[in-house]
Structure 1
Amino acid sequence: MLIAITGTPGVGKSTVSKFLFEKLKSSGKDIACINITEVVSKEGLYLEKDIEMDSYVVDFDKLNEYIQSVGTKDILLDGHVSHYLNPDYIIVLRANPLLIKNRLESRNYNSEKLNENVEAELLDVCLVESIERNDESMIFEIECSEKDPEKIVNEILMFLDSKNPEYGNVSWLEDYFYLIE
């Protein structure tokens, strides 16, 4: 089983993924957690480096080969492109665009990269891409702005048990459209 944790950079994917991985592992699951950004960089699973955006263009064929070689029954995919990897379940994390802006500023994102990511959150990019590419019955969206990781993980576990999709309840456009420069 592949579980994708996706969302705009700064929503808390890595933090939530670590908590979820530990919870699943401690319950006896044969599971691995793959941080896509780290693996792509470390294993050279990219086509090129985008210097302006300080990011890699993922080679999805190589990344899929890597994932298949992991050798565990279940895999947790942590990354904002994880919904492109044919997962069984997609968890789309969402957060207030001002929170994302502050988090990305603290990571010293350049203004172009920061604005692109805030705009992506405002426009639901990861959710829309998930819906366009996958079966909608496997998608669960969580608004994370004021929730601690443990509460988010409990919501994810309830979704994985019930398999009741839920998405389309988060919209930032009315309140934050002015953030798009």
Structure 2
Amino acid sequence: MRNIKIAITGTPGVGKTTISKKLAEKLGFKHIDITEVVKKHKLYSEKDEEMDSYVIDFDKLREFLDGLDNIILDGHVSHLLDADYIVVLRCNPETVKKRLEERGYKQKKVMENVEAEILDVCLAESEGMVYEIDTTGRDVEDIVDEIIDAIKNKKIRKGIVDWTEKYFYLLEQFK
């Protein structure tokens, strides 16, 4: 598995960074945290103070990544960065809510991200070679091994997770 860009995407709180780092280690790839790179290299157009996040300048970010191979792109927008293979991590919305609250996210940001998970925004935006995994309650090593197998065998899997009916009530909590 060489000369490849792998995107690990999903809403905040699904386990992207933990899984991305372990995957990069196992494959001998470079781990790139999109949020850190955007901040460090000023690859943004502005900071959204209300949401406490940066508005990414995708042209600058793509230019920064141009020519890099054997990388794991870790971030909730990594599926928008011309990856060869996209892994969409999903997680129980209640777990996502708890994790984001523990991180001290503002209520509006928690709501936005829980809603994005319930409505599978990252999955819906992903195109090409896409593999969806539910990380809820799973061991990191098992998830990483599944990802490696999926990439090696060029597996495509979308639509295995549907939180809409079971967790729609969470959306009501934020109104």
TM-score range, shorter chain: over 0.9
* CA–CA distance in structure 2, aligned partners of residues 53 and 69 of structure 1: 32
Decide which of 110, 113, 121 is 1:114's aligned counterpart.
110
Return the TM-score normalized by structure 1: 0.91
Structure 1 residues without counterparts, runs of 5 or longer? 26-30
CA RMSD of aligned residues (A): 0.9
Residues 27-176 of structure 1 mapped to structure 2, 5 A cutoff? 31-68=29-66, 70=68, 73-130=69-126, 134-135=127-128, 138-176=129-167
Deviation at 1:69?
5.4
**Contact 2:24-2:71 within 8 A present in 1 as well:** no
Number of equivalences: 169
User: After TM superposition, where is structure 1 displaced by more than 6 Å over at least 4 residues in a row?
Assistant: none
Equivalent position SS for 2:149: helix
Distance 1:69 1:170 in 2: 34
Distance (Å, rounded) in 1 between the aligned partners of 2:107 and 2:153: 41
- Give the counterpart letter for 1:107 in structure 2: R
SS, match of residue 47 in structure 1? strand
Q: Which amino acid aligns with 1:38?
A: E
Percentage identity across aligned positions?
A: 57
* TM-score normalised per structure 2: 0.94
Q: 1:55-96: per-residue Cα shift (whole Å, max 9, x none)?
A: 0000111111111254xx311100000011011100000000
Aligned to 1:21: 24
Provide Cα deviations, 1:122-176, integer angstroms capped at 9, x if missing partner.
Answer: 000000011xxx22xx000000011111011011001011112011010111111
SS at match of 2:94: helix
